[in-house]
Amino acid sequence: MTTSVCPFSKAARPDDASARKQGETTASACPFSKADASARKQADTTASACPFSKPDDASARKACPENEGRVNKEESADSATVPAKCPFGYDSQTFKLGPFSCMLCQALLYDSSRCVPCTHVFCKVCVSRFKDCPLCGADVESIEADESLQKMVDQFIEGHARIKRSVVNSTDEEEVGNDNKKVIYADVSMERGSFLVQQAMRAFQAQNYESAKSRLAMCTEDIRDQLRREGNTPELCSQLGAVLGMLGDCSRAMGDSSSAVNHFEESIEFLMKLPMDDLEITHTLSVSLNKIGDLKYYGQDLEAARSYYCRALNVRRDAMKHHPNAPSQILDVAVSLAKVADIDRALQNEDAATDGFKEGMKLLESLKLDSEDSAALEQRRISVLEFLKKQVEKPEGSAEAAI
């Protein structure tokens, strides 16, 4: 069983280095953190942007296109806009807990369970790891399902961020203090996709994979509905590709390799519909290919693993041609070269393996990092370079030790 890496980076989920000692050594960045960056500027340690964030995400009124014109008209009349707030505090990108949150995984309750006799409520998976109540320390005699509370949580999720309020009507206008400015109540709740991904991330990081998978499945359903209405727009394809990749990581963490491969394959299908000149897209695509390769590798299907690794390598080579001065892209190519070479060695093709390791070494030795580049990027370069050197120095026939 391998240690799972956090899957949730926008369209940039780093390769699973922790699963293979000879692979990448960096931890995965969170794919769905609400970052402002539109592209991955550093190595895999950089948090990636949420696939649901938009350039004008900070402007709440833009979130509702049909309201935009009317909002602008009211603003020109010296009106004030008061954002609508979720009564439970779930409408912010900042970290918040509410009455429907599990205090252990800090995500919304999933399979709500009540401790007996203290009555504190947690997710079933979370509290099952304890013999004493994590909040009060009381002995847990038994755990009972709280179906009524879970029903409330499910209803809350179903309705969250879907209520679209009229911009101006008789009930939406009030006076602010002594001013006579009109108050326009706009819906600024987090978009449903962002909201679900935020909850899935928290659950995944707490190893509550069932909860994370449930939220992500709801997210994919929403995006598929939009695709049926609007067609395969680049934004929707990017979002669905990212979320499907996250679902693949959940399935892999749960030990369901078959479902993981299916999710990664579908993620690749949608990402292939996007322009390949975007580093975020190419990185995500290559990572999904590598993750399928890893699963094939663990299943001892080396030829299939090599095929996926080579596809990832080709994607990264093409990206490096478009972005020759991107240090992180050069590092990605070196990592892919190491993966393919490692398989070649396992397949007793030592000459090809050595050539691959040496090509990776050459790339990293010639890579010059500017002072602007992070220390983490340099650390990763050194780490991968040291691994490649060790592989070249190994005597022939030592592939098993490398694996």
Please give the full DSSP string across 5-34, using - where no structure is assigned.
-----SS-PPP--TT-TTS--SPPPPTTS-
Q: What is the DSSP string of 351-399?
A: HHHHHHHHHHHHHHHH----TTS-HHHHHHHHHHHHHHHHHHHSPTT-H
**CA 128/CA 122 separation, integer angstroms:** 9
What is residue 280's predicted lDDT score, i.e. its pLDDT? 85
**Reduced to 3 states, what is the DSSP secondary structure of residue 122?**
strand
Q: Where are the domains of the chain?
A: 112-160, 305-394
- Kind of pairing between the strands at 121-123 and 80-83: unpaired
pLDDT score of 28: 39
Query: Tokens for 382?
Result: 């050194």
Count of C-beta atoms within a 10 Å radius of residue 153: 19
In three-state secondary structure terms, 80 is strand
Strands 183-186 and 80-83: parallel
The long-range contacts involving 230-236, CB below 8 angstroms and separated by at least 24 positions, are 232/270, 232/273, 234/273, 234/274, 234/275
Euclidean distance between CA atoms 194 and 161, whole angstroms: 10
Q: Residue 75 — very low, low, confident or very high, per pLDDT cuts 50/70/90?
A: very low
C-beta separation of 41 from 372 below 8 A: no
Interacting residues of 194 by C-beta distance below 8 A, sequence separation 6+: 32, 34, 50, 52, 53, 93
- pLDDT of residue 38 exceeding 90: no
Q: Residue 347: which residues within 8 A CB-CB, separation 6 or more? A: 302, 303, 306
Cα distances (Å, whole numbers) of residue 193 to 2, 32, 222, 285: 29, 10, 8, 21
> Distance between CA atoms of 397 and 346, rounded to whole angstroms?
9
Lowest mean pLDDT among 226-235, 365-374, 380-389: 365-374
What letters, b where the CB count within 10 A reaches 16 and e where it falls short, cover 155-177? ebbeebbeeeeebbeeebeeeee
Which has the minimum average pLDDT: 86-90, 226-230, 342-346?
86-90
Smallest Cα–Cα separation from 112: which of 88, 143, 142? Answer: 143
Using alpha carbons only, give the angle 254, 256, 260 rounded to the nearest 5 degrees: 105
CB neighbours of 242 closer than 8 A, spacing ≥ 6?
A: 9, 10, 11, 13, 31, 32, 51, 267, 284
Q: Tokens for 156?
A: 């809350």
Q: Over the stretch 291-316, which tens digit does the pLDDT of each residue have?
A: 999 999 999 999 999 999 999 999 99
Parallel/antiparallel/unpaired status of strands 183-186 and 121-123: unpaired
Average pLDDT over residues 391-398: 63
Hey, is 69 helix, strand or coil? helix
Quick one: 347 exposed, middle or buried, by C-beta within 10 A (0-12, 13-18, 19+)?
middle
Rounded Cα distance, 297 and 305, in Å: 5
Q: What angle do CA 64, 245, 208 make, to 5 degrees?
A: 90
Instruction: Give the pLDDT score at 399.
Output: 38
pLDDT at residue 363 in the model = 92
pLDDT at res. 373: 63
Quickly state the pLDDT bin for 89 (edges 50, 70, 90): low
Q: Which tens digits make up the pLDDT trace of 42-66?
A: 433 333 445 555 444 444 333 343 4
**Whole-angstrom distance, CA of residue 10 vs CA of residue 35:** 9
